[in-house]
Copies of this chain bind each other. A is one copy, B any other.
Amino acid sequence: MRIPENKAKERGKSINLALSERGLSALRATDLGLDKIILKASVPMHARMVHVGDKQMSQAYSVNGEHINAVDRARLNDLLLDAAEKFENVTIYFDHRLNMIDFDKNVMTIQTGAGDNITTVKHYADLIVGADGAYSRTRGQMMRRMRMDYEQIYIDTGYCELSMPPLIDEQGQAQFALDPNHLHIWPRHTFMLIALPNPDRTFTCTLFMPFEMFDQITTEEKLMDLFTTYFPDAIPLIGQSRLIRDYFTNPRGSLISVKSSPHHLDGRSVIIGDAAHAMVPFYGQGMNCGFEDIEVLHQVLDRHGITPVTTKNQRKLLEKALTDYSNTRVKDAHAICDLAMYNHYEMRSAVTSYRYLARKKIEGWIHLMAPRLVVPLYTMVSFSTLPYSKAIERWHKQNFWLNVVLGTTGLATLTGLTGLLLSKQHNRDIIHSVIESVWKIFK
């Protein structure tokens, strides 16, 4: 049920989301076929397309052909709301703000309306689950009652959304302006442009830049200078007038990273999603991690034999279960927040470094040969449900051994090459062919 009934579906932020395995796994677990429904509304992205100069380099997300999925935030919201309101015991309230929570009675004070026309309602819940975002009121109310460790960090980078329309081909058909099965990136070290495909053949572009740069680019001329210098191939695709309109009309978003510990208060409430762990968007894991929270929470409740039936005795049982939940989930949330922050650097810069690319190639190549020996970090994060903290732990171990192996191999190769160099012309030809084959591996 929806209150008010005639509530028009609201558009949220228009930024695109990248749905990957953790999110899909949670959707699958609902047994409503939600994974399939949402995949149908999304566009698969198999690789990053890195734009450098007038070149485009495709960098596959996985050597096994796995892909992530671009999905429009508003469309996703609608699909989830449609699914939720089919349940008789679910009531969806719009335009209701949480004001405060009395945790002694587990009663929420909720307000609706504005100005002189504010109505206050009180609502009891056995368990209050706060999924109210990075600026969570539930979290704020919990923090007044308990010793919660909390950290929020804003990065210096802001963002502005731009839109890229379809190209109209000779038959008058709308076509994607760029390869649609890619997440496009224009990495420029301290700033970057990205573009994600939509099913309607448009791209949603996001310009990430230090706020300082936003503050400096205040005229159409300066904006066109920036794009002519750094993103020349994007200008005809976006269109100059649309670019200027979007840049000067759309708001500048800021990016916050939030960590909290624990995620629960006694057996009374728990925060999930951004309310517990907002992250910068550079690993495409914010939504996936939030959905996974729900799957993990359900697993923990099941393990403790907690059913939705209200009993007075459940408060103690709930406390045990939620303590378990925080004990596993806090460290995973911290891990993915850190990874997302690290990927900010990787997306802006490292994707253009040969050392980085060579290493990725080697990692992927070993993974292909021995899939259980080395699993690339991106694969563990995006294409598996291995807990984030375990993924990082494994990554560190792999890196150690990879460095040993590469070090040893490097040393052996160097010794061999030196030996060969010191001998005859015949051997120089061998060296040449060795270098050539190595080059082929990396190409």
Q: Report which A residues bind B (CB closer than 8 A).
A: 135, 144, 147-154, 254, 256
Smallest Cβ-Cβ distance to A135: which chain B residue: B144
Give Cα A153–Cα B152 distance, bound, in whole angstroms. 12
Q: How far is the CB of A215 from chain B (nearest CB, A)?
A: 13
- Contact across chains for B154 and A151 when beta carbons are under 8 A apart: no
Q: How far is the CB of A226 from chain B (nearest CB, A)?
A: 23
Smallest Cβ-Cβ distance to A256: which chain B residue: B147
- Contact across chains for B149 and A149 when beta carbons are under 8 A apart: no
Give Cα A147–Cα B254 distance, bound, in whole angstroms. 8
Q: How far is the CB of A138 from chain B (nearest CB, A)?
A: 15
Give Cα A151–Cα B152 distance, bound, in whole angstroms. 6
For A150, list chain B residues within 8 Å (CB). 150-152
Give Cα A439–Cα B147 distance, bound, in whole angstroms. 47
Q: List 14 A-B contacts (CB under 8 A).
A: A135-B144, A147-B154, A147-B254, A147-B256, A148-B152, A148-B154, A149-B152, A149-B153, A149-B154, A150-B150, A150-B151, A150-B152, A151-B151, A151-B152
Q: How far is the CB of A135 from chain B (nearest CB, A)?
A: 8
Residue of A148, A153, A256 with most partner-chain B CB within 10 A: A153
* Copies of this chain in its oligomeric complex: 2
Q: How far is the CB of A166 from chain B (nearest CB, A)?
A: 36
Q: A147-B256, A150-B152, A151-B151 are in contact. List 6 more A-B contacts (CB 8 A).
A: A135-B144, A148-B154, A149-B152, A149-B153, A149-B154, A150-B150
Smallest Cβ-Cβ distance to A211: which chain B residue: B147
Q: How far is the CB of A327 from chain B (nearest CB, A)?
A: 15
For A147, list chain B residues within 8 Å (CB). 154, 254, 256
Q: Please classify the interface of chain A as helix (H, G, I), strand (E, B), loop, or mixed, using the class held by over half of its residues.
A: strand
Smallest Cβ-Cβ distance to A255: which chain B residue: B147
Which 10 residue pairs are nearest across A and B when measured between Cβ atoms? A147-B154, A151-B151, A150-B152, A149-B153, A147-B254, A149-B154, A149-B152, A150-B151, A150-B150, A148-B154
Give Cα A92–Cα B154 distance, bound, in whole angstroms. 36
Smallest Cβ-Cβ distance to A153: which chain B residue: B149
For A153, list chain B residues within 8 Å (CB). 149
For A154, list chain B residues within 8 Å (CB). 147-149
For A256, list chain B residues within 8 Å (CB). 147
Give Cα A153–Cα B151 distance, bound, in whole angstroms. 8
For A148, list chain B residues within 8 Å (CB). 152, 154
Give Cα A107–Cα B144 distance, bound, in whole angstroms. 25
For A254, list chain B residues within 8 Å (CB). 147
Smallest Cβ-Cβ distance to A257: which chain B residue: B149
Smallest Cβ-Cβ distance to A156: which chain B residue: B147
For A144, list chain B residues within 8 Å (CB). 135
Q: How far is the CB of A126 from chain B (nearest CB, A)?
A: 26
Give Cα A147–Cα B135 distance, bound, in whole angstroms. 12
Q: How far is the CB of A114 from chain B (nearest CB, A)?
A: 16
Give Cα A288–Cα B166 distance, bound, in whole angstroms. 63
Q: How far is the CB of A335 from chain B (nearest CB, A)?
A: 18
Give Cα A135–Cα B140 distance, bound, in whole angstroms. 11
Smallest Cβ-Cβ distance to A147: which chain B residue: B154
Give Cα A152–Cα B139 distance, bound, in whole angstroms. 13
Give Cα A147–Cα B148 distance, bound, in whole angstroms. 21
Residue of A154, A254, A256 with most partner-chain B CB within 10 A: A154
Q: How far is the CB of A210 from chain B (nearest CB, A)?
A: 12
Q: How far is the CB of A322 from chain B (nearest CB, A)?
A: 18
Q: How far is the CB of A253 from chain B (nearest CB, A)?
A: 11
Smallest Cβ-Cβ distance to A154: which chain B residue: B147
For A149, list chain B residues within 8 Å (CB). 152-154
Give Cα A61–Cα B148 distance, bound, in whole angstroms. 35
Give Cα A411–Cα B83 distance, bound, in whole angstroms. 76
Give Cα A147–Cα B210 distance, bound, in whole angstroms. 13
Give Cα A43–Cα B87 distance, bound, in whole angstroms. 69
Q: How far is the CB of A80 from chain B (nearest CB, A)?
A: 28
Give Cα A59–Cα B435 distance, bound, in whole angstroms. 69
Smallest Cβ-Cβ distance to A254: which chain B residue: B147
Give Cα A256–Cα B153 distance, bound, in whole angstroms. 18
